Structure 1
Amino acid sequence: MLLTLLCCLFVGCAADDPDNVSCRACHARIEHASPAHPSCVGCHGGNGRARSKDAAHRTMFSPRNPSAPGAWEKSCGTCHPYQLGRVRSTLMQTNAGMIKNIQLTWEGTDGRRYGTGGEEVFDPAGKPQRLVGVAELDNTAGELYRKFCSLCHIGIENDVAYGVGHGAGCAACHYPRNERSEYRGDDLTMKWRAPAANSHRLEPLPGNDACFRCHNRSGRIALSYLGLYDGNSGQVPSRNGFPGPLMTSGGRNVTRIPPDIHYTRGMDCIDCHTSRDIMGDGYAYENLYHQVEIRCEDCHGSGTELPRWREIVRENEEPVRESRQYRQQMRPGMKMIVTASGRPYANVFYRDGKVRLLGKRSGRLFTCKVITGTPAHTIAGHGRLECYTCHSRTVVQCYGCHTTYDKSRIGHDFIKGMDTPGAFSETEDYRMLYPFPLALNQRGKVAPVTPGCQTFVTVVEADGTVSKSGYVTTFKGKRQLRFAPFYGHNTGARAIGCGECHGNPAFLGFGQHVVAGRSITGTLLCPKNEEKPLDGFQTMAAGRVQAFSAVTREHSRPLNEREVKRVMAANLCIVCHRQAADPIYRKELDYRALEDALHRRLLDGSHPPVAR
């Protein structure tokens, strides 16, 4: 009777459910997970009618987090089998792409596909496949992933990193944590305990802070999107002897840069990214660019094609189901914008002849500017450019990443859950944001690239001897560093100036340089090979271009000699014809026009040039 009375005094998980009685006796003020989750026992397991704590907890699915992979078949998966089937295969769970790329850097691949826990998945062709558990990858690549990279894997809990902790499984996104991973809700039994979610209230639509938990390292896309930068400063005091102005995980000092325009306008990460981008679509991909289905052209169109759309015709279609949590639900008859893979967005649609985007969390309605047919986007020869090639403000580039694997020290293996010999440490030589090099990406488009990963490997054996020093792995049959196509998530409304991109060889992969006649010489030289610049991947000598680093991903490569010379030659016209609307840019440039009478007078100074 006393337990029932206590339960009726407080709000939270359903007090009138007899299966919750003993749970509410200790957790009387626990927050309601959501109206759709009224039963404590339904999610957590256990015995909600028991008279003691031990008896109540004995059959719980998991002591603290029922959404962890070890329990999610019994908990979340019983009501959400469709979502669980997708998450089990998503790259956020398998980390297959990350593991593969680490292998390429350290030992090279061995022909097997690895995942975090030996997942049973379907490949993109629909064939069943078992990923080999990364615990079986018995080399330095496996050690690096398990001890250094795996904390961003949603399958395990990150309770050791300040500011970026997250739970395992579904809780990684749907039960966000604060900077100390402390419970700060109203339940007095759990108050201030750690590690735990900030609240027991489920977040059906994760905010940017959930994305930041993992995407603040490596490519730093969360930092760039929010307008933050952690490079080239370390702990160097910036004012009054203190590092600053802001700090983030790992004791990193971050400064402010212009944020992405989408963030400035008030958009969240999930407003652009579909649930299939994040939770997967049920198939296991090898790299992230295969799983992400969205492109800028989906909402903004291309120079020649308008955004595509598909009408909702049934009440059970994905946009209708997913938008139940939004401020506005999608309905049959609405014209939904489709992604590059042909699937409809759940929050982007045509209305009144315009492309509208609904903020999933905010409920705000945004109008997407369509650029089809505009002069700046119909320049001849620019059809091969990704939108973010011109519109990226910055691209994080980390040069000279030095990783040391010291077998004489002890490191924690987060996948195996134990300490083992071997610890990793990293330093970097140089970091920059702009200018950023361009190359052909996996789609055959000109796009930004970043060192990926430009790693120099040092291995210290258990007896203290150095078995590898500054070692660079073999890639595509050569001992070479690598660059990778990359979208930095720091987009601006204004594009890079034509003269700036065409006139600065750093954009073409030459790094910091000096130009002398028909030669371009790098000035930031690699200490391991002074003939090769550290921050570039090609050189020019007597007009001949030679690439010395690889660009990863299938079909990717540096611009070749003919392409480099065509880019530079455009400066002959850009100096006078500065506007994209100029008629000469509607077709391929005719450099023979420089020999006609008008241009000869302009070039010899007898007639003042007029900028168009």
Structure 2
Amino acid sequence: MSNANRITLTLSLMGVALLLISSGEAFSASVNAKGCIVCHAVRLDRNHSLACTTCHRGNDSTGEKSEAHANLIAQPAHPEAMAATCGPCHPRQVDGIGAASHFTLKNLVNLVRRAFGATTDLQSMVEIPESDSPRDALALADDLLRRRCLRCHLYYKGDDYPAVTHGTGCAACHLEFQNGRLASHAFLAAPGDRQCLSCHYGNRVGFDFHGRFEHDLNVEYRTPYTTKDEHFRPFGVEYHELAADIHQQRGLVCIDCHPGSQLMAAGKPGPSCADCHDADLLDKNLPDRVRKSGPGYIFLAGTERKQHTLPIMTDPAHATHGGKISCQVCHAQWSFADSGKHLLRSDYDEFDQWDRLTTQGSSEVTKLLENNIDFSKNEIIPAMKDKIYFRDRPGVWYKGYGMRRWETIFLEKNEKGEISVVRPLLDYFLSWQDGNGLVHIDSHPSEAGNNGLHRYTPHTTGKAGLFYRQRLENLHFAEAAKENKQGD
């Protein structure tokens, strides 16, 4: 072998040796590496660029999973942990949120409970009594709230749907979830509509802002018809796409009108249309996002503060009615008008009759029905989780509607002569069937007055159009007929 060949061979062997050594070092480093990011590769935002253990506790000095996860807090933003985790840096926000209605849900809870006989109010949803064997309609309503209605609150991650699953506590609004999973560990200073809609969907305020109206549940009436095979339902039930609110069409988002300062504290008044569109009020006080611009005013929308010229109320109709008519009486384009809400708790293991109602707007109920009407699968016992303490409890809550409509805007005049939009909200009928098929409570109606109609602000704002006067005339005719009937 020539000297040149020997040199070439030697260099080649040295290169291989160096490659093996370097590979061995890299392999050894990956095996012996310590710290959370070895297994959990996350990207943090600038303001939260902290050690993982600052919020999650645990032990980041070991590579052993069991040791690393000792005393781990999996959900540090959860209501039970957020005071200790988020509170040191955000004391004002954490102190304020504890009494906010978005946190306690007490307004909704007490509204429903009083409709079924409650005489005292609760301060928080966590105070709702538990009852496996309801003794009366109120106890049944409590069970309904805990296991079927309250599926979206800060203690719970929400239903198992792609657009609905979210974080708990502070993370419900301030972390990004997509397709049912945490998409980013970077906290959002200003939550977008995606976060709001993870709770405000399915014919709740907010869904209408985007022009969405949930389909009927029965497969026979869910038009346009869809396949019965498994398909993408981001909110659990398909929805009609109607006219979106003019503010949404112009690029505004929920927090432009409902900022954190209002949502995260108790007693903060909500916005009014006049705040931004009444020249007299604007001359006295400018809302946070409104600026004077020449002879008029502009609104700064979204995180980019995009400028929008504010239209000022000039139509003579505004002066004619003297503030006695709410804006949406004329400006709502459509409204949620689901009437006749029938809810049955059944502990009985009979499921075939629900074949056409498997889509229930609850992932838990839908999965149980789809499984149990398939004879090739092992039957799941009829039970649902308590959405506050997460324990399985007997019985499944099924839902159905008498009618689902959007075209009629219901109006009501109160004792002060003020006219506002109302919607069927408390027109519930509750039933309970035990595990032997025995009916204990059969279509017990809500005791709420006014046929369950409740004041509501449709987020479907548009031009008043041609027929707003007809709405008022219909109300006047109804009022006159009511007075004549009372006179008889």
| Equivalent residue number for residue 484 of structure 2 | 544
Query: 1:239 Cα deviation (Å)?
Result: 5.8
Q: CA deviation at 1:234?
A: 4.8
Alignment-derived partner of residue 261 in structure 1: 246
Moved more, 291-300 or 354-363: 354-363
Shift of 1:164: 0.8
Deviation at 1:250, TM superposition (A): 6.0
Q: Does structure 2 conserve the Cα–Cα contact (< 8 Å) formed by 1:271 and 1:359? A: yes
User: 1:22 maps to what in 2?
Assistant: 35
Q: Residue 307 in 1 paired to residue 282 in 2? A: yes
Note the C-alpha offset of 1:41: 2.2
Partner of 2:455: 485
In 2, distance between residues paired with 1:353 and 1:43?
50
Is the aligned partner of 1:392 residue 2:405? no
Between stretches 435-444 and 161-170, larger displacement belongs to 435-444
Deviations 1:179-198 (A, max 9, x none): 3x12xxxxxxxxxxxxxx12
Deviations 1:456-501 (A, max 9, x none): 222223432223322213346xxx7321000110100334535422
Cα–Cα, structure 1 residues 508 and 98, in superposed 2: closer, same or farther, change >3 Å?
farther
Residue 119 of structure 2 corresponds to: 110
Q: Given that residues 99 and 114 in structure 1 are in contact (C-alpha distance below 8 angstroms), is that contact kept between their aligned partners in structure 2? A: no
TM-fit CA distance, 1:160: 2.9
Deviation, 1:259, is 0.6
**5+ unaligned residues in a row in structure 2: which ranges?**
1-21, 27-32, 349-381
Matches within 5 A, 1:208-607: 208-217=193-202, 219-232=203-216, 234-235=218-219, 236=221, 238=223, 242=227, 248=233, 251-280=236-265, 283=266, 291-301=268-278, 305-307=280-282, 309-310=284-285, 337-338=286-287, 345=288, 347-371=289-313, 373-379=314-320, 381-408=321-348, 409-440=382-413, 445-475=418-448, 481-495=451-465, 497-503=467-473, 505=474, 507=475, 540=481, 544-545=484-485
Once residues 167 and 74 of structure 1 are traced to their aligned partners in structure 2, the CA distance between those partners, rounded to angstroms, is: 17
Q: In structure 2, what is the Cα distance between the partners aligned to 1:443 and 1:32?
A: 54
The SS at the match of 1:152 is coil
- Give the letter aligned to residue 147 of structure 1: R
Do the aligned partners of 2:35 and 2:60 also contact (CA within 8 Å) in 1? yes
CA distance in 2 between counterparts of 1:82 and 1:496 reads 48
Which amino acid counterpart does residue 208 of structure 2 have in structure 1?
S
How far 1:429 moved relative to its partner? 0.9
Q: Distance in 2 between matches of 1:273 and 1:443?
A: 27
TM-score for the superposition, normalised by structure 1: 0.62
Counterpart code for 1:155: Y
Q: Which residue of 2 aligns with 1:122?
A: none
Q: Return the structure number with greater strand share.
A: 1
Describe how 1:38-117 pairs up with structure 2 within 5 A. 38-60=50-72, 62-63=73-74, 65-106=75-116, 108-117=117-126
CA distance in 1 between counterparts of 2:159 and 2:395 reads 21
How far did 1:40 drift?
2.1
Q: What CA distance in whole angstroms lies between the structure 1 residues aligned with 2:420 and 2:326?
A: 6
Residue identity in the other structure for 1:297? A
From 181, 201, 204, give the equivalent of 2:189: 204
Aligned to 1:558: none
> What secondary structure sits across from 2:183 in the alignment?
coil
Instruction: Say if 1:142 and 1:367 are closer, same or farther in 2 by CA, change over 3 A.
Output: same
Taking only aligned residues, the RMSD between alpha carbons, in angstroms, comes to 3.2
Counterpart in 2 of 1:154?
154
Aligned equivalents of 1:467 and 1:242: distance in 2? 37
* Contact preservation (8 Å) 1:357, 1:366: yes
Report if aligned partners of 1:455, 1:481 keep a CA contact under 8 Å in 2.
no
Amino acid aligned to 1:388: Q
Which residue pairs with 1:140 in the alignment? 140
Q: Which moved more, 1:221-230 or 1:456-465?
A: 456-465
1:292 Cα offset (Å) = 4.5
In structure 2, the CA distance between the partners of 1:53 and 1:353, relative to structure 1 (3 Å rule), is farther
Query: Alignment identity in percent?
Result: 23
Q: Is the 8 A contact 2:298 2:307 kept in 1?
A: yes
Q: Secondary structure of the residue that 1:544 maps to in structure 2?
A: helix
Paired residues, what number? 418
Contact 1:411 1:420 in 2 (8 A): yes
* Alignment partner of 1:173 is 2:173: yes
Alpha-carbon shift at residue 444 of structure 1 (Å): 6.0
